[in-house]
A and B are shown apart, each in its own frame.
Chain A
Amino acid sequence: MNILNTLITRRRFLQAAGATSAGAVALGSGKIGGFATLSEAQAAAPEASGGATVTKSICGQCPARCGIDIYNTNGRVHAIYGNNDHPIANGKGCPKMHLGTYMLYDPDRFKGPMKRTNPNKGRNEDPKFVPISWDEAYKTVADRLNNLRDKGESHKFGLFFGRGWGATDVGLTIVPFGELYGSPNAPIGHSSICSDGSVLAKQCTDGNASYSSYDYRHSNYLLIFGANFLEAFRPYNNNLQVWGYIRGVKTPKTRVTYVDVHMNQTAAAADRALLVKPGTDGALALAIAHVILTEGLWEKSFVGDFKDGANLFKTGQTLDPASFNEKWVKGLIEWWNAELKDRTPKWAAGVTTIAEDLITQTAREFGSTRPAIALFERGAHVHSNGVLNGMAIHSLNALVGSLFAEGGLGYQMGPSYGPSPANAADYMDDYAKNGPHKKMPRIDLKGHEDGYLMAKNMIQEVGKNHLSGKAGYKLDTALFYMTNPVFSTPNAKNEWEEAVKTMFVIDTSPFPSEVAMMADIILPDNTYIERYQDAPTYPFQGFPLAQLRVPAIKPLYDTRTFGDSLIAIGSLIKGPTSEYFKKLESAENIVRHLAKGFEKDPGDNGVKDFETWKAKGCWFKKPYVYRQVRGEFLKWDGKGYNNPMSAEDVKKDLLMTDSGKFEFVSSYMEHKKDWVLAKTGRDPVKYNMPHWEEPKYTGGGDVHFISPKTAMHAEGRGGNIPHAITLLQPAAGGNKGALAEIHPSLASAKGIKDGGRIKIKSAVGEIIATARVTELTRPDTIVLPFEHGHWAWGRWAKALGGSHVDEIVPQQSDRISGMCNYYTGKVTVERA
């Protein structure tokens, strides 16, 4: 494996070739950036007198998109702090943010475009990359794509992307590329290995296919299921700010109950930690709903009430739906009769292992504190029953009237962008409209009856389907942008890793990776410190917010912004596709067009055009214009929430279900009833309600295996940032790698000692790990953070070794959401 060392040739090439067509980028003293030249190329130490240039930009290490101030003194980037003008960052930082300076100067970065010369692919095959010019790189890719299109096989091109944001990276580039070129597989996003479980849970209940925005600062109770608020949940930096406020400043102090499978920082800092059996969060939520109803704690102004005003919810007893007047919800009594009436705390205690009295206490607190928020993410919904768990948890928000309320949750508004430089619809040729690709299923069988009809993406199944030909064809060419499924999907070694060996692979990361190791062409992106990009906010507080990434330094090496590379390739595609991409011109040009929208709709911070956007780093307009107050929906009129919304308005803008209400009985799922029943075998009476279903544990072992994200997961690069490695798993002591948290009772039964090497096995593989014998984790659960075990990630990752958790995670997905079931595997453990 010599992916890193081969890059030395880049320098030799540049020296021989002189300035390439792309223009070699000078660094510091004017030397050409190359693999071994970094220390030589350093400029003289900047003067201590200061005079740093501060560039407002966006962090790139998690989805939060924090505004950052990048300090550059005399051509050297030396510090990153939060942007005080930015509503998410507010001048503050998470532990990852500051490491961006390291990422810029990461000695393992790719230094320029390259092609593979060793046709054999494998972990131990040196790709033998050689430098090529950007022109050759683009032409190689475009020729290949044109050839496929000429043969009517454009569907064999797949474009896979991960953390692509905004118009520059996705909206005006990646998405139109697939439409104009003509492939159902361009793009395939990563959402099914991210958090589609919550998206589907929301879509099935309140009609919003989205993550939620939250008004934590005005909430008095947070009931958090597995969304690790103080370590991983987005927007992490702002969550930390929120925590300091709601716990240390706000009166009254917000109470927090946190549900997870091991004691982590959020659990420790909460008022109550409930350490739940993996996959049973839904049972806990159902029991909480049961108590809220039987004890009359639901929000009557939102949910409605019994006609005679008396609470008729009695455990085990069915009710006449006509006895209840529903207001903004639908199907409450049907749900009660079919499911909730028997979901007592006692029952849930048997399922979850949480003590019955704690469940009742939690339910009473949550049900009697307003406003309250129930939130969840990966953990609760990363199981075969994930969408049901998510629907059950989200239903708690409806029961206490939190939807669109102050101190509750809503959905994110988009920014007032200006028109694109070109409209893709004007550049569709006959092939794009009617070509053979139109009849082809996606390779991941997303939206297909044989696959995942209701899913958004199924990137984790691509490798498997490519190998088996299940979709009726195999991919010929695959381009990757900020995603590394060869490493980060279940059963990765046997599926994606094998699949890419038989594809022509193009990687675009600035950094080495497992995909890059298998690549035929490398088109290295600039790091986020060196490029333009727009990014509308991830769901935050609902009000529209768009931040701008601006280069803080010229690219250190011969790298190019991804958007510019895709535009260059698109410009070489035959037919009108080429014209579209030529009109786009560049990522910077796109950004300038977007900014024109702010002329008509200036932001609260005075941002009204490209220059002011650049100066402030973000455009935003407060407040979130919708608010539900005691069952009345109101809209902001410029001065206050004074405009009442009609039921039609609510249905159009907020509760976008068939009924225009929050649906405990999902009409969205009812539309796919036959398919759902056939594929899940669920009870036709309650298949479309939040209900309890035992999770299908995979892997064949006797211990749950959970691989959570930690705070130092710097969008994957944390695995090769030495500073991040030493801080990875603070609570358990993982400062030289990741440790497998294992309970003393299990360790003792297996003869495992603290710090000892252990073998963890499932039906699909085995890994070696280092044990941390600790009371932090449940006796039936091993917790090993995903991060390490990379085999082509850079020098520190390689030296570290580590355990690649996805080699023992079996392939299973939630049939409804398509959400990859990362935490559903059971393993056996023994001394190594």
Chain B
Amino acid sequence: MAKWGMVIDLEKCTGCQACSTACQMENNRLPGENYQDVLYYTEGKQPTPTLKWFPRPCMHCEEPSCLHVCPTKATFKTADGVVLIDWNKCIGCKFCMIACPYGVRFYTDEKPLIEPNIKDVFKGSGDLSWNPPYKGPQQDNAHGVGIQPNGVVSKCTFCYHKISKAPAGTANLTNEDEATREFTPACVRTCAPTARYFGDLDNPNSEVSRMISSKKGTRLLEHTGNKPQVYYVTGSGAGGGAAVPMGRNGINKV
């Protein structure tokens, strides 16, 4: 069984947000509620201001604090290492949203970021919170995949409807390999500068394992003990605008 994980190369990330929109459409996200956000930071003064950005999916932690606080065991860790929410069990208490140190969980029924509320335009029926006409064929409430029902929390699933169909023993899920393309998470598949890599962290020969080793992958907020399965790598550390969001005083900003 694979332990799925992601590596994001900050030297290559252009901050374009294609990961965000690919995910929005693939996972029917509401405007402004992105499973995959890119965060931007500004520091310094003219004529030498700095602008940095940081792509942030769910970290799919090995020790997910969201899981430990869930009173109904709706949040669970799959055998292949993915943190998911069983919407059939979620009661919408939002403990997990408070427990998550990365801010990557979303509750339905929040006030829409912009008006008119798209949920009123594409109205849902039954327990579906909305019903966009471009919704995908997958709906799997037990794994938190598809249209978010009312009253539950949702989060990035690593595109579980895709990766869970990958043949056993697959080391890398990548757009470049036709055999794995359709099993590759949307954000990884579309990433134009190829800043994202996805594969089996337990396989020492997977591309993600190689990158973590050779490029010294780091994880966000290591001190929390969550042990993310999303790693960040960079080259010189001074190249692009994409960066782990550290302030000049060394304080981590997330």
Q: CB within 8 Å of B: which residues of A?
A: 38-39, 42, 45-50, 52, 73-74, 76-82, 84, 91-99, 101-102, 104-105, 107, 230-231, 237-238, 240-241, 243-245, 247-249, 253, 263-265, 267-269, 271, 275, 353, 355, 711-712, 722-727, 730-731, 733, 735-736, 743, 774-779, 795-796, 799-800
Q: Per-residue 0/1 for B1-19: is the Cβ within 8 Å of any A Cβ (1 yes, 0 no)? A: 0000000010110111110
Q: How distant is B214 from chain A, measured CB to nearest CB, in Å? A: 13
Contact A247 to B114, CB < 8 A, known contacts A82-B190, A105-B134, A107-B121: no
Chain A residues in 8 Å Cβ range of B9? 248
Q: Could you tell me if B122 and A39 are in contact, using CB atoms closer than 8 angstroms?
A: yes
A93: which of B53, B118, B123, B192 is its contact (CB, 8 Å)?
Answer: B192
Specify which chain B residues have a CB less than 8 angstroms from the CB of A107 in the assembled complex.
121-122
Q: Which of A105, A231, A730, A796 contacts B40 (CB 8 A)?
A: A730
* Residue from the list A73, A98, A353, A355 in contact with B25, Cβ < 8 A: A98
Task: Contact check, B137 vs A45: say whether CB atoms are below 8 A apart.
Answer: yes
Residue of B nearest to A743 (CB): B46
* A240 lies within 8 A of B193 (CB): yes
B68 to chain A, nearest CB (A): 31
Are A94 and B16 touching (Cβ within 8 A)? yes
Q: How far is the CB of B99 from chain A (nearest CB, A)?
A: 25
Q: Are B21 and A101 in contact (CB under 8 A)?
A: no
> Given that A84-B181, A263-B51, A796-B114 are contacting pairs, would A723 and B31 also be in contact in the complex, using a CB cutoff of 8 Å?
yes
Q: Min CB distance, A654 to chain B, in Å?
A: 31
The residues in B between 158 and 191 inclusive whose CB is less than 8 angstroms from any CB of A are 161, 175-176, 178, 181, 186, 189-191
**Which of chain B's residues 30-69 have a Cβ closer than 8 Å to chain A?**
31-32, 38, 40, 42, 44-47, 49-53
Given the known interface contacts A78-B137, A244-B194, the answer about A723 and B24 at a Cβ–Cβ threshold of 8 Å is: yes
Min C-beta distance of B192 to chain A, whole Å: 3
Q: Which residues of B contact A263 (CB under 8 A)?
A: 42, 49-51
8 Å CB contact of B134 from A102, A733, A736: A102
In the complex with contacts A39-B122, A45-B139, A265-B241, A96-B21 CB distance below 8 A: yes
Task: Give the residues in chain A near B20, CB-CB below 8 Å.
Answer: 95, 727
B115 touching A230 by the CB < 8 A rule?
Answer: no
* B241 CB contact (under 8 Å) in A248, A268, A355: A268
Closest to A73 in B: B137
Q: Which of A46, A79, A105, A247 contacts B239 (CB 8 A)?
A: A247
- Give the residue of A73, A91, A102, A230 whose beta carbon is less than 8 angstroms from that of B16: A230
Residues in A neighbouring B191, C-beta threshold 8 A: 92
CA distance A774 to B42 in the complex (A): 8
Interchain residue pairs with CB less than 8 A apart (14) = A77-B134, A78-B25, A81-B186, A107-B122, A241-B192, A244-B192, A244-B193, A268-B240, A353-B47, A722-B31, A727-B17, A727-B21, A730-B38, A775-B45
Residues of A within 8 A of B53 (CB): 265, 268, 730-731
A265 touches B137 (CB 8 A): no
A76 touches B49 (CB 8 A): no
Residues B25 and A99 in contact, CB atoms below 8 Å apart: yes
Residue ID in chain A nearest B15 by CB atoms: A265
Closest partner residue, chain A, to B112 (CB atom): A722
Say whether B245 faces chain A, with CB atoms less than 8 Å apart: no
Q: Decide yes or no: A101 and B25 within 8 Å by CB, A48-B137, A726-B113, A774-B42 being known contacts.
A: yes
| A237-B192, A241-B193, A247-B12 known; A723 vs B133 contact (CB < 8 Å) | no
- Alpha-carbon distance A730/B228, docked complex (angstroms): 25
Q: Assess A94 versus B192: contact at CB under 8 Å? Given A45-B135, A722-B31.
A: yes
Q: Is the CB of B181 within 8 A of A76?
A: no
Q: How far apart are the CA atoms of A726 and B15 in the complex, in Å?
A: 15
The answer on a CB contact under 8 Å between B193 and A91 is no
Bound-complex Cα distance A326 to B178 (A): 52
> In the complex, are the beta carbons of B136 and A39 less than 8 A apart?
no
* Residue numbers in A under 8 Å from B14 (CB-CB): 230, 240, 243-244, 265, 269
Whether A248 and B193, one on each chain, are in contact in the complex, defined by CB atoms closer than 8 angstroms, is yes
A contact residues around B21 at 8 Å (CB): 93, 95-99, 723-724, 727
Q: Which residue of A lies closest to B243 (CB)?
A: A268
Residues of chain A with a CB closer than 8 A to B114's CB: 722, 725-726, 736, 796, 799-800
Contacts of A722 in B (CB 8 A): 31, 114, 118
Q: Does B104 contact A (CB under 8 A)?
A: no
**Contact in complex: A102, B25 (CB < 8 Å):** yes
Least CB distance from B212 to A in Å reads 16
Q: In the complex, what residue of chain B is closest to A276 when comparing beta carbons?
A: B47
Q: What number of B residues sit within 8 Å (CB to CB) of A?
A: 65
In angstroms, Cα B18 to Cα A243, docked, is: 14
Bound together, the chains give a CA A775 to CA B113 distance in angstroms of 26
Q: Does B116 contact A (CB under 8 A)?
A: yes
B242 touches A799 (CB 8 A): no
- Interchain nearest-CB distance for A767 vs B (Å): 20
The reply to whether the CB of B204 lies closer than 8 angstroms to some CB of chain A is: no
Nearest 8 pairs of A and B residues by beta carbon: A244-B193, A268-B241, A240-B192, A248-B12, A46-B137, A268-B51, A726-B32, A722-B31
> Which of A80, A238, A727 has most B Cβ within 10 Å?
A727
Q: Is the CB of B240 within 8 A of A98?
A: no
Q: Nearest chain B CB to A728's CB is how many angstroms away?
A: 10
Residues of B within 8 A of A240 (CB): 14, 16, 18, 192-193
Which residue on A lies nearest to B23, using beta carbons?
A98
Distance of A774 Cα from B178 Cα, bound (Å)? 45
Q: List 13 extra interface pairs beyond A48-B140, A98-B22, CB under 8 A.
A: A48-B137, A49-B137, A76-B135, A78-B136, A78-B137, A79-B26, A96-B21, A248-B235, A263-B42, A268-B50, A268-B51, A775-B45, A775-B46
Determine how close the nearest CB of chain A comes to the CB of B145; give it in whole angstroms. 9
Say whether B24 contacts A39, CB under 8 Å: no
Which among B25, B42, B190, B195 is the interface contact of A775 at CB below 8 angstroms? B42
Contact: A268 with B52, CB < 8 Å?
yes
Say how far A54's CB is from chain B's closest CB, in angstroms: 10
Minimum Cβ distance to chain A for residue B126 (Å): 11
Q: Give Cα A241 to B235, complex, Å.
A: 17
Complex Cα spacing A244 to B12, Å = 5
Q: Is B131 an interface residue (CB 8 A)?
A: yes
B132 in the interface (beta carbon within 8 A): yes
Chain A residue contacts of B40, Cβ below 8 A: 730-731, 733
Kindly list chain A residues whose C-beta atoms are within 8 Å of the C-beta of B133. Answer: 38-39, 42, 76, 105
Closest residue of chain B to A264 (Cβ to Cβ) is: B51
Alpha-carbon distance A729/B49, docked complex (angstroms): 17
Given contacts A84-B178, A730-B40, is CB(A799)–CB(B115) below 8 Å?
yes
| Nearest A residue to B123, CB-CB | A39
A76/B42 contact (C-beta < 8 A), A243-B193, A796-B114 known:
no
Residue B252 CB within 8 A of the other chain: no
Q: Is the CB of A79 within 8 A of B25?
A: yes
Chain B residues, CB < 8 A from A800: 114
Residues in A neighbouring B194, C-beta threshold 8 A: 92, 241, 244-245, 248
B41's closest neighbor in chain A, by CB?
A731
Give Cα A104–Cα B134 distance, bound, in whole angstroms.
8
Q: Give residues of chain B (194-239) contacting chain A, Cβ–Cβ below 8 Å.
A: 194-195, 235, 239
Answer whether A92 and B192 are a contact pair too, CB < 8 Å, given A48-B139, A73-B137, A736-B114: yes
Complex contacts, B32 vs chain A, CB 8 Å: 726, 735
Report if B88 contacts A (CB, 8 A).
Answer: no
**Measured CA separation A263–B195 after assembly (Å):** 22
Report if B138 contacts A (CB, 8 A).
Answer: yes
Interface digits, B138-155 against A, CB 8 Å rule (1 contact, 0 not)?
111000000000000000
Contacts of B18 in A (CB 8 A): 92-95, 97-98, 240
Chain B residue, CB-CB nearest to A238 = B192
Instruction: Give bound CA distance, A92 to B113, whole Å.
Output: 28
B195 and A244 contacting across the interface, CB-CB below 8 Å:
yes
CB distance from A35 to the nearest CB of B (A): 12
Name the residue of chain A whose CB is nearest to the CB of B51: A268
